[in-house]
Every structure is written in C-alpha cells, then in structure tokens.
C-alpha cells in the first residue's frame, strides 16, 4: 500500500511521484493497482459505514496497532505562524490550532 503517493504539493522530484511496479507482477502475479480517494468515499458512504470505519480506525489507534504522529500546537492567535509551519518542507508534525477553553486566563 502506498499512502500519499499523489501528494505532489511542492514535489519537484519526478522519482518521488512513481510507484515501482514491474509489468509481469501485474500480468502474471497477483498484484493489483487500485486508487482510493478518502474524500470521495466519505461523500458516497452512508453515515453508518463512515462511523463504523472511523470507529475501527480509532480502535486500531487505541490498541496501538496504528499510531498518529503528535501534532504541534499553535494558539489561534498565531495561526499565520501555523500556516507558515505547514508550508515548510519536511516538517515533522502537523500544526494543530488550539482554541481557548472559555476560561478567563488573566490570572495566569
């Protein structure tokens, strides 16, 4: 499985946009090439199917079969910095906007 192979945003190396696959492995073997666009699936799946899939993924994360990289929090006031961070090549985390929880923080 290749995840994000079409993530061509700011990609300038053509070799990074290819999936090495020999023709004989498709013709004589059992390899299959199939595309999947999650956004399109969410638009066509029933709410019950989408909830079931999200629950299954959540279970895999809870059971530590899958892991989600930790994000880098940014207060909402620094959203432009978060955008700049997201635009930098080879950043190691996704920016997470942190909203105030409604408490009065003047005393802190």
In the predicted structure, residue 108 carries a pLDDT above the cut 50:
no
Same domain, 50 and 87: no
Q: What is the pLDDT of residue 82?
A: 92
Tokens of residue 38, six digits: 């999650």
d(CA 33, CA 79): 39
Domains in the chain: how many in total? 2
The pLDDT tens digits of the residues spanning 57-76 come to 999 999 999 888 788 999 99
- Render the burial of 63-100: b for 16+ CB within 10 Å, e for the rest: eeeeeeeeeeebeeeeeeebeeeeeeeeeeeebeeeee
Domain annotation covers residue 108 = no
Q: Which pTM does this prediction carry?
A: 0.49
In the predicted structure, residue 92 carries a pLDDT above the cut 60:
yes
In the predicted structure, residue 94 carries a pLDDT above the cut 60:
yes
Nearest to 68 by CA among 79, 80, 60: 60
Domain annotation covers residue 106 = no
Domain annotation covers residue 17 = yes
**What range does the domain containing 78 cover?**
69-100
In the predicted structure, residue 5 carries a pLDDT above the cut 70:
no
Q: What is the pLDDT of residue 40?
A: 86
The pLDDT tens digits of the residues spanning 32-50 come to 877 778 888 889 999 999 9
Domain annotation covers residue 105 = no
- What's the full length of the chain, in residues? 108
Same domain, 53 and 77: no
């Amino acid at each position: 499985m290749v995840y994000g192979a079409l993530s061509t945003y700011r990609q300038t190396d053509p070799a990074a946009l290819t999936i090495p696959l020999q023709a004989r492995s498709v013709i004589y073997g059992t390899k299959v090439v199939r595309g999947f666009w999650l956004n399109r699936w969410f638009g066509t799946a029933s709410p019950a199917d989408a909830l079931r899939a999200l629950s299954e993924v959540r279970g895999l994360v809870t059971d530590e079969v899958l892991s989600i990289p930790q994000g880098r929090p940014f207060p909402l006031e620094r959203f432009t910095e978060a955008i700049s961070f997201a635009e930098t090549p080879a950043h190691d985390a996704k920016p997470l906007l942190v909203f105030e929880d409604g408490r009065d923080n003047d005393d802190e």
